[in-house]
Amino acid sequence: MAADPLDELLQFLTPEARIDLRHIALDHLVGLSGTEDGITTLLSHDKVIQSIINLTDDKIEEVAKNALLILVNITANPRGVIELLKYKSDDNKNIVKLCIGYVLNPDKKDADAAAMILSNITRVETELDSVLDTFLPHLNDILNAYVNINFNKKGSNLNFIGPMISNLSCCHSIRKWLTEENPHIPLIKLLPFCSYELSNIRRGGAMGTIRNLSFDPEFHEFLLSNDLELLTYLLNPIMGGEEYNDEEMDSLPISLQYLPKEKQRDNDIDIRKMILETLNKLCMRRKGREFLRDNGVYYVLREYHKWETDPKVRLACENVVDILIQKEDEVGAEDLSAVEVPDDMKEKFEKMDEDYIQDK
């Protein structure tokens, strides 16, 4: 019976193996990890996976890089995440703790790959509870590394910490950390990245975190507090350089008044959609609706709707406008989340939305 090629590679997947042979072996595995069948093959070889994990800390940077890239590919697959979480490195660190250590090491050249692995892992919601205890002691350090653009001295930008935090914010304990941690509230550090022009990934991570918070009414009062100035960060990306009359302009947050005519809207459709979803959720309760009306959100959306061309995003915009243009006695409910919608009406509304999108 022919020997298994991966078993034969094991002898080259050790720190003691010749450097050129380590390179050749890992190059082969990088290619293999690029397909679903290849990932399945890799996951069936415990010793190979264990060797790859150990090589992520190899003294030869190119070897460590390729080992990390293999794990990036594997964790892009939800099953790969579940399987990898069963392993530990030779120094008894699970994959999450190992990658957190790389992200927090300013001299780790390929810390971006480690951040990407953490982003991939936290995207699998069924596994979040099992990794939270590993993340919690390090969250403040991770956030500080994220907001310090020059934290990594070897060229890694750590942008993928953004979606990692967004993914983690699906957990209530992380939402409480984001809004209650002392002495510095983590969310306040994230807000400026809603307009970070150099990376859609960072902007999307910040905006996704806010959106996840908005899905939980418990945090609406915090989100709408004057000290946070959330609307400044939410509305700026969907505003252009249009003009408003004096009354409309005065209702807008101060920092959004009289924007330059050359002001451009965010070019990322997913980010624009997240903003509208957040505004929609902030309309859940009367206090939120009144806050949005008092701060000129309707005027911003009126102009934005003229510009937006994507049918799904236009619909998301219209859904918010439909709420804001109503008087409270027309809305008919203090808390819209408490309104029971019959299943047949849900289907009808969904069909109407589908027809709208197809007609555009």
DSSP 152-211: -TTS---TTHHHHHHHHTTSHHHHHHHHH-SSS-HHHHHGGGGG-TT-HHHHHHHHHHHH
In a domain, 76, yes or no: yes
Q: What is the mean pLDDT of the chain?
A: 91
pLDDT tens string 186-196: 999 999 999 99
What's the confidence (pLDDT) of residue 313? Answer: 96
Instruction: Assess contact for 190 and 165: CB atoms under 8 A.
Output: yes
In a domain, 169, yes or no: no
Total count of domains within the chain: 2
In a domain, 61, yes or no: yes
Q: What is the CATH number of the domain that holds 88?
A: 1.25.10.10
Local confidence band at 318 (pLDDT 50, 70, 90 cut-offs):
very high
Local confidence band at 227 (pLDDT 50, 70, 90 cut-offs):
confident
CA dist list (Å): 68 to 99, 170, 202, 280, 352: 9, 26, 21, 39, 46
Please give the residue range of the domain that contains residue 71: 1-119
What's the confidence (pLDDT) of residue 345? Answer: 40
CA dist list (Å): 346 to 70, 106, 136, 341: 43, 51, 39, 6
pLDDT tens string 325-359: 988 777 656 665 544 434 444 454 444 455 545 55
Instruction: Assess contact for 253 and 247: CB atoms under 8 A.
Output: no
Tokens at 282, concatenated: 């902030």
In a domain, 140, yes or no: no
What's the confidence (pLDDT) of residue 197? Answer: 93
In the listed set 119, 138, 164, which residue is the last one of a domain according to the structure?
Answer: 119
What's the confidence (pLDDT) of residue 2? Answer: 40
1 C-beta neighbours (distance < 10 Å), count: 3
In the listed set 119, 138, 165, which residue is the last one of a domain according to the structure?
Answer: 119
In angstroms, rounded to a whole number, what is the distance separating the alpha carbons of residues 96 and 102?
10
In the listed set 119, 136, 154, which residue is the last one of a domain according to the structure?
Answer: 119
In a domain, 3, yes or no: yes
225 and 104 share one domain: no
112 and 229 share one domain: no
What's the confidence (pLDDT) of residue 15? Answer: 86
pLDDT at 153 over 50: yes
pLDDT at 166 over 70: yes
Tokens at 318, concatenated: 């219209």
Looking at per-residue pLDDT, the higher value among 356 and 138 belongs to 138
pLDDT tens string 178-225: 999 887 899 999 999 999 999 999 999 999 999 999 999 999 999 999
360 and 221 share one domain: yes
What's the confidence (pLDDT) of residue 331? Answer: 67
In angstroms, rounded to a whole number, what is the distance separating the alpha carbons of residues 309 and 306?
8
237 and 110 share one domain: no
pLDDT tens string 64-117: 999 999 999 999 999 999 999 999 988 899 999 999 999 999 999 999 999 999
The secondary element (H helix, E strand) that includes residue 78 is helix 78-84
